[in-house]
Amino acid sequence: MTLPEDRKYAKSHEWVKDLGNAVVEIGLSDYAQNELGDIVFINLPKAGDKLEAGTVFADLESVKAVSDLYSPINGKVIEINEALLANPELINQSPYTAWFIRAEGVIPEDTLLEAKDYEALLN
């Protein structure tokens, strides 16, 4: 399992990559995609949708389950990854480049984990 150190991780297994200027990418950790199995469908929000930390912003369906995705930030969606709508399997193939949304907003303090702390949580 790989855990890039250039992003932070939610206990609900989403990752957040800071792009600067209060803009982040949000995706799903390698651990989570592996646990879910083959991802066959994703339902993403629309650009402009509001995000509230800790609430569902999207969902995905795998061969094992339907899973909710939780926003790690307070803010709004500025872009969705359209490629995932047609090819959700990209999440399984490359979970750290297959971002779900780009969003702007604020990450609540002390809610995300560094890579080493997320790894400790998984063990």
Condensed to tens digits (0 to 9), the pLDDT of residues 2-37 reads: 799 999 999 999 999 999 999 999 999 999 999 999
Domains of the chain: 9-122 (2.40.50.100)
Name the token pair of 82. 């359209």
Closest CA to 35 of 16, 13, 20: 13
Compute the C-alpha angle 20/67/41, nearest 5°: 85
With 80 as the cut, is the pLDDT of residue 1 above it? no
Q: State residue 101's pLDDT score.
A: 98
Angstrom distance (rounded) from CA 92 to CA 89: 5
